[in-house]
Every structure is written in C-alpha cells, then in structure tokens.
Structure 1
C-alpha cells in the first residue's frame, strides 16, 4: 500500500507537519510505502475555472507543481491531508489544492464525474489553536462531505485542538493516536 501525506501549512515544521508525519510513521510501521509533500515547497496556483481539463484528454492546462501531485495521487492507495484551521476553515494552501483536484476528480453531481477515479482512501487532519475541537464541526463535516462527493473514501476527520497551549510534539497523547491512525489506514481497520 502507498500512502501520501500532504502538508497544507505554510509552517514546514509546525503542528500540521508533525501530525501528518506521525500518521505516515504509523503507516510505515505496518509496511506501507509513504511519501509526503509540503505545499510551502511547491508552486501551485489557483484553478482558472477554464474547464480545459474536462474538454480535452490532456488534464489540467496549468503547468505547475500540481502536475507532480496528480501523478503521485494516481499511484497512491490512500491520502492524508493535513491543514491548520485558519479563520474557521482549511488553509489557503489546502483550498487551492482541493480546487485543483477538479481536473482529476469531479463531484458526483457534475456532468464530468468519472467513475474510474473513485475510491481513494483519505484521512483529513485539522490542527487548531482553540481548545474546543467541536468549534468548527460544521465546517469539518462539510469538508468531509465535499471529499465524499469527489468519491474519496473518507476514513477519518481528526481535529487536533488546543495547539496554542501546547504544541503537538509535546503532547504524549498525540504520539500514539496519530501513529494509530496511520496504522489503521495501512491495515484498513476503520
């Protein structure tokens, strides 16, 4: 099994990066091949809404680092998308990435929906400063539903709250829970 982690945070060594790496570590311990991408290291521009990807067989017309990610996603069995919560929702980096998925995946209600692209497993992990993990629950549920409409098999939406008080790497409870998520994903124990 191949599992790819996406770090949609401008902080390469922050809480989001740590949680994604711990999840991948747990998957790797179960024999999964893992790889991670930090969006801060990539040049990904917003979708143009030109529909070129749907009106040709060449995919997205934008020639940027998203082309590398399309190939990586195609070869992956499962994805982990980690994002900090900014202004009550995913980061700008995560949103640009999500919008650009349209070139490969279409919502079920879209006339461009491609059945053969369906079924990638996905874990969403959000990190936030606020200690109330349910504060943005409506948004997290919405995001899960959106990925399900793209035909992702969303296995978990995990919210790591209270990051202002204590960073992720200092929280003993997170070491095992993040690795357990990765282990479960590699072994498909959801």
Structure 2
C-alpha cells in the first residue's frame, strides 16, 4: 500500500505536523506492507490554478503550469491513500491545501478512482462545531465523492487549551488511526 501524506501547514513543526507525525508513527509497524512519502507543501513551489482548462483540452491531462506539482502528480497517481493534514484557518483549510486540491483538476480522474482519503485537522477553538472543521470535512467529502475516492478516516483536534505535543489522548488517537489503515 502506497501512502502519500501531505502537510498543508506553513509550520512544519507545529500542531498539525505533530499530529501527522503521530499518525505516521502508527504506520511504522506496517513498514513491510506500506510505503510512505510525505510532501511538505510549504516547501514546494505550487502556483494557483488559473482555470485555463488546457489540462482538460489535452488528451494527456497535463497542466501548463510548470512547478513542483509536476512531480507531485506522479506521487498522487502512485498513492493508494492520501493523508491530508491541515490546520483550520479562517473557518476552512489552509491555503496550501486548497491550492494543492485545486491543482488536482489536471489529473485524469480515472487515476484517482477508489483511492482513499484521510483527513487530519487541528483548530484553535474550544468548540469543533464553531471552528470551521465542518467546512473542511464537507469539502473533502464532496471532493472524494466527485472523484470516486473513499473518505475513510478523520481526526479533528482542538489546540485551544492543550497543544498537540502535550495532548496524549490526541496523539494516541492519531497513532491508532494510522495503525488501522490496513482495515481499509
């Protein structure tokens, strides 16, 4: 099983990064069965989709924007599971994740069929209902349905009172989700 984890936080040592690392630790015992690649979006040069539609007019589904997405497309196509990790910013996913997802428009959707999606979020509100998590979950649910993918796991962690690094319950939950990936 090929797993592509995507960190969409601009802070590669922040709460979302720590949550993702705990999830990936859960996979460590499965190393003979899984191959993991992690992409740190903040370190990549990814331009915004311009909506030119050239990728859909071409029989090869190629984006005209020549940036780091060209290599990322290959990783996405190779992956069986996409693990998306994002903080909640202004009631939605971080811009890095939105840009990444927008650029998936150029991919041949047949290569995405039956892939699995995992979503990990961190938010700074005391209430998940008021944090914007619902907006992200709804977006990923709709996207996965549209693309014929399966949204299989979701973990949302508040950092309002306790940072992820100090939140043993949340770290254990992330670890357990990772360890359970082969159930899907």
TM > 0.5: yes
RMSD: 1.6
Tell me which residue corresponds to 2:22.
Answer: 22
Aligned partners of 2:147 and 2:61: how far apart in 1?
20
The Cα offsets for residues 48-81 of structure 1, whole Å up to 9 and x where unpaired, read as: 1111111111511111011111111111111100
Distance (Å, rounded) in 1 between the aligned partners of 2:79 and 2:70:
15
Q: Per the alignment, in what secondary structure is the counterpart of residue 88 of structure 2?
A: strand
User: What are structure 2's unaligned runs of at least 5 residues?
Assistant: none
Corresponding position: 1:175 with 2:171: yes
Q: For residue 134 of structure 1, give the secondary structure of its aligned residue in structure 2.
A: helix
Deviations 1:17-73 (A, max 9, x none): 111121122123223221211111100010011111111115111110111111111
In the superposition, the TM-score normalised over structure 2's length comes to: 0.90
Specify which structure has the higher proportion of helix: 2
Q: Which residue of 2 aligns with 1:86?
A: 89
SS at match of 1:49: coil
Task: Name the residue aligned to 2:78.
Answer: 75
1:102 aligned partner: 105
CA contact 1:78–1:121 (8 Å) conserved in 2: yes
Pair 1:58–1:116, CA change in 2 (3 A): closer
The residue that corresponds to 1:4 in the other structure is 4
Matches within 5 A, 1:137-156: 138-143=134-139, 144-156=141-153
- Contact in 2 for aligned 1:127/1:159 (Cα 8 Å): yes
Shift of 1:137: 5.0
Question: Could you say what secondary structure the match of 2:45 adopts?
Answer: coil
Equivalence for 2:56? 54
Tell me the number of residue pairs that the alignment of Structure 1 and Structure 2 aligns. 179
Paired with 1:175 and 1:116, the residues of 2 have a C-alpha distance of 32
Distance 2:133 2:22 in 1: 23
Q: Which of 43, 46, 71 pairs up with 1:44?
A: 46
